[in-house]
Amino acid sequence: MTIRLLILGTGGMANSHAEAFAKIPGVELVAGVDMRPGPLAEFCAKHGIPNAFATLDDALAWGQFDAATNVTPDAVHCATTLPLLAAGKHVLCEKPLATHAGDAARMEAAAAAAGVVNMVNLTYRNVPALQKAAAMVRDGALGPIRHFEASYLQSWLTQPAWGDWQTESQWLWRLSSAHGSKGVLGDVGIHILDFATFIAGEAATEVSARLATFDKAPGGRIGDYVLDANDSATMQVRLSGGALGVVHATRFATGHMNDLRLRIYGTLGGLEVRFENAISELSACLGDDRLTATWRPVDCPLLPTVYERFIAAIRGEGVAEPTFARGAELQHLLDAAEASAATGARAIAL
């Protein structure tokens, strides 16, 4: 079954989508959409995409595609996804699903009404250690969860490994709320919150948070970009089973490119999940090893990527996960964390 795919948005992350989908047998990249003629033409030429549209309306009028991957800026995810759903197209949307819970709920409801495959691109679901840890928790290896600590550490505000954030719009927009950014909380906080709660197998029921924005340029702006989005976030989270945890994320973690870690503890054992320097590792302290605090490595099999799962779900060969419902749940948690930080509330119930 051939799947004809449209790519909406042609920025940096869109290249990752195009490359990943091009590797899947039976997937044809048939169209690209972007209001910027130059980047659109360059993107389509680079990936051999035959059709280019300046607007989503033009692409929908053409209609010769089965599914779309939405790689637009966060602030327009809702406005660009709803027409695709109304047209009966399967959609993979970049994270976060929206920039506030109301829009995320609208997207979830529209996807359910359309009856199409809907997924949000939480890429760290591809990490083998995460999936193995989640399976072990579901199987009862840790017993009831009591405590966890999770971190997502980046350093792109302290070094130019991915480019110069002070001059390149693909980075600068992420630092400006006027350009749709929710800062590190929305950009990577969503990943680490999903990382922790998915492995724990429990929903968050309460959150408190603090956010910080640091001076990065004279007057707090570079050109049209006011640099007011948060750079660091800390959170305290309670899970439905009563466990407490701490979560933190930052773009100022010198020495860390893109590293996630979770330590999670139950009455019967503990797990440490690491994805650091693009290497996935899982360690466990279980059974009699608890008596000597001995940790042992756990083998973790490779799994299909979110891109492969999206196509498999369209073909009826797999489960669509994570869905828009999960994206909406996480957005509700992010909104609560943002409200806690804004008001100084000790905790906000979910």
What pLDDT is stored for residue 328 in this prediction? 97
The pLDDT value recorded for residue 346 is: 85
Residue 326, classed as helix, strand or coil, is helix
pLDDT of residue 347: 86
Q: Sketch the domain layout of the chain as residue ranges.
A: 3-123, 124-305+319-349
- The DSSP line for 42-57 is HHHHHHT--EEESSHH
C-alpha span between 202 and 119 (Å, rounded): 20
Domain 124-305+319-349 sits in CATH at: 3.30.360.10
Q: In this predicted structure, what is the pLDDT of residue 162?
A: 85
Enumerate the H helices of 139-255 as residue ranges.
169-172, 183-184, 190-200
**For the purposes of burial, counting CB atoms within 10 Å of the CB of 45, is it exposed (0-12), middle (13-18) or buried (19 or more)?**
exposed
- Provide the angle, in degrees to the nearest 10, between the axes of the packed helices 12-22 and 306-314: 60
Q: Which of 133, 161, 155, 10 is nearest to 72 (CA)?
A: 10
In this predicted structure, what is the pLDDT of residue 297?
A: 98
In the chain the beta strands, taken as DSSP E runs, fall at 3-8, 27-33, 51-53, 67-70, 90-94, 118-121, 145-154, 204-212, 221-222, 225-226, 232-239, 244-250, 258-266, 269-276, 279-286, 296-297, 348-349
Q: How many CB atoms lie within 10 A of CB 329?
A: 23
Rounded Cα–Cα distance for residues 258 and 187 (Å)? 12
Q: Look at strands 51-53 and 27-33 and give their pairing.
A: parallel
Q: For position 89, what pLDDT does the model report? A: 98
CA 112 to chain CA mean position, Å: 21
Written as one letter, the residue type at 314 is I
Cα–Cα distance measured from residue 124 to residue 134, given in angstroms and rounded to the nearest whole number: 13
Q: What is the mean pLDDT of each run of 10 residues along the chain (350 residues)?
A: 96 94 98 96 97 98 98 94 98 95 98 98 95 98 98 95 87 90 92 97 97 96 95 97 97 96 98 96 98 97 95 95 97 96 90
Closest CA to 238 of 141, 331, 336, 328: 336
**pTM tops 0.85:** yes
Please state the CATH superfamily assignment of the domain spanning residues 3-123 in this structure: NAD(P)-binding Rossmann-like Domain (3.40.50.720)
Domains 3-123 and 124-305+319-349 share a fold: no
